[in-house]
Amino acid sequence: MPTQDINIDETKTNLMADIKYLTEVVGERSYMDVEKLNMTADYIEERFRSIGCDTKRQPFQYAGNTYWNIICEIRGLSEPDKTIVIGAHYDTVSGTPGADDNASGVAGIIELARLSLKNPLPMTIHLVSFSIEEPPLFRTRQMGSYAYAESLRKERANIIGMVSLEMIGYFSESKGTQFYPLPFFRWFYPEKGDFIAFVGNLKSRAFTRKFKSAFTNVSRIPVESLNAVSLVPGVDFSDHSSFWKFGFPAFMITDTAFYRNPNYHGRGDTASTLDYERMSEIIRGIYMALKLI
């Protein structure tokens, strides 16, 4: 599908509507508030269905409660036996409406589903919204993404790779707004928080580079990438790390979270702080890249 056939204004409107609902109608979506999480799961499921996706729910248990991953599968046109997973968590920490973290990723997943249903991709894609990624379940086997990755391994699914959308909405044009986990990173990466980052482990290097190459060919958004060991703080800070544990290549697309966004995990992480123009271009770029890899 030619780039100009994607209506960026429509994508922007859809992203804004979903983020405002999740942050202003639902609000805080902590693992302790199962009712709010169920409300969120219902909304995501209804949004998937409204655009024509046959949606599935995957239940999993934690501390006596049932949580849900919401899955939209769209079969590929030419290589349907190959699958790419695009995922984003929909929970928040306590005390934040979670616009960037991570309503931005969830809204991106829903919009990617709409674009892909309208004009299907070569490979099959799974658009998945995960529950309970945030602390205290962070980086544990209780995460929704772990349950989903484990189920794929048991099914022996042919997963080409997984991409986690983890905070994709906050940008800055000012120098000195971008920070890094280690001081020497400043020698190689920008001072301004005006780029999107592709971050994965060493084993996912080939998949990350292939996706980055496809993305940069179709998008004007600057991209920086890093594939490193988990000892570098932040490399494994999202749902993609669950997929590593089952041998799947995976990386996250992120605005770098607390290395840039001063509203991280706070009450200030609201819908009004996000850059919907850049977010729309990122989603367009991801969709177009999926047509090329």
pLDDT, tens digit only, all 293 positions of the chain:
344 468 999 999 999 999 999 999 999 999 999 999 999 999 999 999 999 998 999 999 999 999 999 999 999 999 999 999 999 999 999 999 999 999 999 999 999 999 999 999 999 999 999 999 999 999 999 999 999 999 999 999 999 999 999 999 999 999 999 999 999 999 999 999 999 999 999 999 999 999 999 999 999 999 999 999 999 999 999 999 999 999 999 999 999 999 999 999 999 999 999 999 999 999 999 999 999 99
Q: Which residues have C-beta within 8 Å of that of residue 151, sequence separation ≥ 6?
A: 58
Q: What is the pLDDT of residue 112?
A: 98
199 φ, ψ (degrees, to nearest 5): -130, 125
Closest listed residue to residue 244, CA positions, set 292, 199, 196, 185: 199
Residue pair 113/51 in contact (Cβ under 8 Å)? The answer is: yes
At 4 the pLDDT is 46
- The structure tokens listed for 230 are 């988990």
* Residues 126 and 83 sit within 8 Å (Cβ to Cβ): yes
What integer pLDDT is reported at residue 63 of this predicted model? 96
186 vs 167, 183, 197, 209, CA distance in Å?
21, 6, 14, 21
Task: Provide the strand spans (E) within 131-249.
Answer: 159-166, 196-200, 223-227
CA 216 to chain centroid, in Å, comes to 18
> Residue 196 corresponds to which tokens in the numbers above?
């999107």
- 3-state DSSP assignment of residue 270: coil
For the packed helices 34-50 and 104-118, what is the interaxial angle rounded to 10 degrees? Answer: 20
What are phi and psi for residue 25, nearest 5 degrees?
Answer: -95, -50
| Cα separation, 231 vs 202, whole angstroms | 12
Distance CA 235, CA 275 (A): 24
